[in-house]
Structure 1
Amino acid sequence: MNPFILASGSPRRKELLKQARYSFEIQTSTIEEKIEVGLSPANVVEQLAQQKAEDVWAGNQQAVVLGADTVVVFGNAILGKPSDATEARSMLRKLSGNVHHVYTGVAICSKKGITTFSEKTEVEFYPLSEEDIEMYIRSGESFDKAGAYGIQGFGAYLIKQMIGDYFTVVGLPLAKTMRALKDVGISPKV
Structure 2
Amino acid sequence: MPRQSPPPRGPLSNVEPLLLASGSPRRREILANLGIPTLVTSVDVDESTLPGEAAEAYLVRIVGAKLEAASTKTFVGGPLLRGDTLQGINIAAAAGAVLVADTSVIDDGAILGKPSSPEDAERMIARLAGRTHEVWTRFAIGAPEAPARSVHEETVKTRVTFRPLTAERVRAYVASGEGTDKAGAYAIQGRGAGLVSRIEGSYSNVVGLPACEVIVALEQLGLWL
Q: TM-score, normalised by structure 1?
A: 0.90
The CA distance in 2 between the partners of 1:65 and 1:38, in whole Å, is 30
Q: Which has the higher helix share?
A: 1
* Counterpart residue identity of residue 59, structure 2: V
- Correspondent of 1:81 among 103, 109, 114: 114
The CA distance in 2 between the partners of 1:119 and 1:43, in whole Å, is 14
Matches within 5 A, 1:142-157: 142-157=179-194
Gaps of 5+ in 2: 1-14, 73-78, 83-95
8 Å CA contact 2:17, 2:36 repeated in 1: no
The CA distance in 2 between the partners of 1:120 and 1:113, in whole Å, is 24
The CA distance in 1 between the partners of 2:106 and 2:26, in whole Å, is 20
8 Å CA contact 1:121, 1:163 repeated in 2: yes
Gaps of 5+ in 1: none
RMSD: 1.9
The CA distance in 2 between the partners of 1:54 and 1:107, in whole Å, is 10
8 Å CA contact 1:82, 1:148 repeated in 2: yes
Cα drift, residue 165 of structure 1: 1.0
Q: Which runs of 4+ in 1 moved over 6 A?
A: none
The CA distance in 1 between the partners of 2:71 and 2:47, in whole Å, is 16
- The residue aligned with 1:106 is 139
* Counterpart residue identity of residue 196, structure 2: I
- The residue aligned with 1:61 is 81
Cα drift, residue 182 of structure 1: 2.8
Q: Who wins on radius of gyration, i.e. which is larger?
A: 2
Cα drift, residue 181 of structure 1: 1.9
Percent of aligned positions that are identical: 37
Single out whichever of 178-187 and 3-12 deviates more from structure 2. 178-187
Cα drift, residue 53 of structure 1: 2.0
- The residue aligned with 2:206 is 169
Equivalent residues, number? 188
The CA distance in 2 between the partners of 1:119 and 1:4, in whole Å, is 20
The CA distance in 1 between the partners of 2:153 and 2:124, in whole Å, is 28
Single out whichever of 40-49 and 82-91 deviates more from structure 2. 40-49
